[in-house]
A and B are shown apart, each in its own frame.
Chain A
Amino acid sequence: MSGNQNNGSADGSQNDAYVSFQRVQKSYDGEILVVKDLNLDIAQGEFITMLGPSGSGKTTCLMMLAGFEPATNGEIFIGGRSINHIPPHKRGIGMVFQNYALFPHMSIGENLAFPLEVRKMNKADAEKQVKRALDMVQMGDFINRRPAQLSGGQQQRIALSRALVFEPELVLMDEPLGALDKQLREHMQYEIKHIHENLGVTVVYVTHDQSEALTMSDRIAVFNDGVIQQLSSPDDLYERPQNAFVAQFIGENNKLSGTVTKINGDTCTVKLDDGGVLEADKVNVSAVGDRTLLSLRPERVEIDPTSDMDDILDAKIEELIYLGDHIRVRMNVAGNDEFIAKVRNRGEKRDLKKGQTIKVGWSSSDCKALDA
């Protein structure tokens, strides 16, 4: 799967996508578009994550899909059927809310039986299904407790199994792990991922935690300002960011700004603002004279490079931070004193000192020329 898939067919023709947003726009107040022209196809069984900063419209997209907010413009399809006029309770979508939304006046068992009850399933079958759903998250012993008697992580599991108990084909999760501590969050990430793999349901997951998105998703849609900035697999997103926002939002990133002086096929030559000249991968620049932001991952920076490296610059060490498995070196490169390099701790004695001037270098394919 990759970013070059046909995303959205504005002519309304049906493709084999399971969920499809087509030219969807949303405004709450008639003045600001919170979601701007969203086109997104999701395949059956896919785990897709919407990632983006606060206020970028992720929840809004989810709410439109679930049916709690009408789309101002455009159409949403599930299984080839337009759902714009189908009320939420007929959409058959499972949902996990950020605050879990477990009904406080019902026991865990009653909470899970609720969706089965409203579907008029007979009691014996419902009981069996509730038990199975609870066992799936290892919470079988808690069936008679009240939500208030559970810890955050336990409530989270219940919310998850409640969203799955009526066997929906599509499950939406809005920052389901947001309230958990780091360790529990990581544990639950694996658990959710496993359940997804076992059940084969389609999951649309919302988070603003990038590492969560990277570990769990088949594909990630990076949102900013109501627009999908990039839609691709986790490794593509990290290795080949399409623009400056994605490069900065995903992972750590060194920035150098300059002007394009020459374009040669897939690469280009960039003159930095302080005079240095670099070769870079041409990603998001189109013509000579364009301003550009060069993006470079800290772990791709070599200290004391061999002379055949594509790009070599002088650097002055500002700070050394010992982190055990690696050493972070903060230095001043081409006027940017937030330039970071990660040096793996191989045990050999490195003579790095604060204030020292050294050379740093990297391969031009690691240095992305993005929009300024």
Chain B
Amino acid sequence: MTDVAFKDQMNEAGELLTADGVPLKQKLAITTRRARMRALLLTAPLIIFLVVSFVIPIGQMLFRSVYNAAGSNVLPNFAVSIQDWDEQGLPTEQMFEDFVKDMQLARKNRITGKTVGNLATRVNYEIPGTRSLFTKSSRKLSKVTEGPYKEALIKIDKKWNDPGLWIALKRVTKDITPYFYLAALDYKYDEKGDIVAADELYQIYVSNFWKTLRLSATITFITILLAYPVSYLLSTLPLRTSNMLMILVLLPFWTSLLVRTTAWIAILQTEGMANDILVFIGIIGDDNRVQMIYNQTGTIIAMVHILLPFMILPLFSVMKTIPPSYMRAARSMGATPFTAFRRIYLPQTLPGLAAGTLLVFILAIGFYITPALVGGEDGLLISNLIAYHIQKSLNWSLGAALGTILLIIVLVLYWLYNKLVGIDKLSFG
């Protein structure tokens, strides 16, 4: 028998069968399952790592930016009863009683995270200068054993007579709060509980977001200007030479970011090399040396240097794939060198340019160490403010809200970018 007469076999359902009579789809699934399982197993460590180190922390951040239970932790009963208050005049005597008893309990128990101090800090975010009121009152409240609690409290301090304070307390005892996003966008609640712009003195975040975007754009633009010709040169040189030079480009990666940044301090400070040279040449006098560091200029210079390789690498990898014959063809057809560059070369480098731009811009937006070291006050970026709230002021919720807004900005940019350039056109090399 020969199999010249091989015919497709089918069952009643019209499915193709293998020679053994098993449906083809089923057989295929069996044979590919092993390969898929193995692939899954190989990627499992990475997936676990990503979940633990990326997804969970970001989830935590999102959660923390809207969740703060300091109020309800310290004042569990008050937190429930105050919700019935109509915000007219002062809360009822019952609510005052709950407040006082909760305060007394908190002082007695001193459970970490549920102390009067925690509450005071939380309220202090919303109404600056109230911290001492809580600590003082808490001390004096230990002697109050019976009602009327309203009078007792007001006797301790007149400020308890202020309805605005109670409105704030009602807000604070809710666990889910938009307050930190409002603060991150330079808004606050007024005494009546309405959302208004923050005091001018405290309006630092929006302007800092803008500054961060502006500086990042400037830095990205400068890296493009510097990286494009360098990448072009590298891509046209013979492989030996270009590899040598590429090592020079990558050399900065071999030294710590800290070292590179401090090197810039040595170069740019008022008594540093750059100023010395300018004075030596006679461009500036010894008595009016230029302030090149601890301001935006310092941040820009150091960050351009540090981020430059991220622009050069994708550009280089794209340029290397463009054969010189394209430019030659354009020239032979009558295009001037400039026209040939603009119409033929530049469009073909766009994927690399786009990738480099995205990379540098997003890295710049979240840069921390360099602005912290050389930025002074003026050159601080949003990440420095986030770090401040995480490490110094310990207002983690505000830090998280700022971080989330930064994340949203990056995602929006990414989306815009996809619209304009197309992510599939990116080439990271």
Contact = CB atoms under 8 A, between A and B. Distances in A.
Nearest to A96: B329
B333 A118 contact: yes
Contacts of B339: 118
Interface string A318-356: 000000000000000000000000000000000000000
Interface stretch (A98-106, A179-187, A221-229): A98-106
B329 A97 contact: yes
B336 A68 contact: no
Of B323, B328, B332, most buried by chain A (CB within 10 Å of CB) is B332
Interface in A149-201: 162-163, 166, 172
Contacts of B323: 99, 101
A273 B40 CA distance: 74
B326 A103 contact: yes
A85 interface: no
Contacts of B337: 87, 89
Given A101-B325, A101-B326, A118-B339, A95 B347 contact: no
Contact of A97 (B325, B335, B343, B347): B325
A105 B344 CA distance: 8
A114 interface: yes
Contact of B330 (A114, A163, A172): A114
A285 interface: no
A87 B338 CA distance: 13
Interface string B330-364: 11111111011001100110000000000000000
Contacts of A105: 347-348
A352 B332 CA distance: 58
Given A101-B326, A114-B343, A118-B339, A95 B348 contact: no
Contact of A99 (B325, B330, B347): B325
A303 interface: no
Contacts of B332: 66, 88-89, 91, 93-95, 163, 172
Interface string B313-332: 00000000001011011111
B325 A89 contact: no
Interface string A104-137: 1100000000110011000000000000000000
B329 A166 contact: no
A114 B328 contact: no
A92 interface: yes
A119 B335 CA distance: 8
A95 B337 CA distance: 17
Of B326, B333, B335, most buried by chain A (CB within 10 Å of CB) is B333
A8 B337 CA distance: 32
Contacts of A88: 328, 331-332
B344 A103 contact: yes
B348 A166 contact: no
Secondary structure call for the B interface: helix
Contacts of A115: 333-335
Contacts of B334: 89-90, 92, 115, 118-119, 166
Nearest to B332: A95
B328 A166 contact: no
A87 B334 CA distance: 10
Interface in A206-226: none
B333 A68 contact: no
Given A101-B323, A114-B343, A95 B329 contact: yes
A104 B340 CA distance: 14
B337 to A, nearest CB: 8
B135 to A, nearest CB: 69
A301 B340 CA distance: 57
Contacts of B331: 67-68, 87-89
A101 B339 CA distance: 17
Interface string B218-257: 0000000000000000000000000000000000000000
Contacts of A114: 330, 333, 335, 343
Contacts of A68: 328, 331
B336 A101 contact: no
A3 B344 CA distance: 42
Nearest to A172: B332
Nearest to A104: B348
A268 B216 CA distance: 85
Interface in B252-299: none
B330 to A, nearest CB: 7
Contacts of A163: 332
Of B331, B335, B336, B348, most buried by chain A (CB within 10 Å of CB) is B331
A118 B335 contact: yes
A114 B344 CA distance: 10
A91 B331 CA distance: 9
A166 B333 contact: yes
Nearest to B335: A118
Nearest to B328: A68
A105 B335 CA distance: 17
Contacts of A98: 325
A64 B329 CA distance: 14
A176 to B, nearest CB: 12
A94 B334 CA distance: 9
Nearest to B330: A114
A219 B373 CA distance: 73
Contacts of A89: 331-337, 340
Contact of B333 (A87, A104, A162, A172): A162
A18 B191 CA distance: 93
A66 B335 contact: no
A119 B332 CA distance: 12
A97 B330 CA distance: 11
A289 B344 CA distance: 62
A125 B70 CA distance: 77
A88 B327 CA distance: 11
B40 to A, nearest CB: 34
Interface string A42-81: 0000000000000000000000001110000000000000
A119 B344 CA distance: 16
A202 to B, nearest CB: 15
A153 to B, nearest CB: 19
Contacts of A87: 331, 337
Interface of B: 323, 325-326, 328-337, 339-340, 343-344, 347-348
10 contacts: A67-B331, A88-B331, A89-B332, A89-B337, A95-B328, A95-B332, A95-B333, A97-B328, A101-B323, A114-B333
3 smallest CB-CB distances across A and B, nearest first, come from A115-B333, A101-B329, A95-B332
Given A103-B348, A118-B339, 5 more contacts: A66-B332, A94-B333, A99-B323, A101-B328, A104-B348
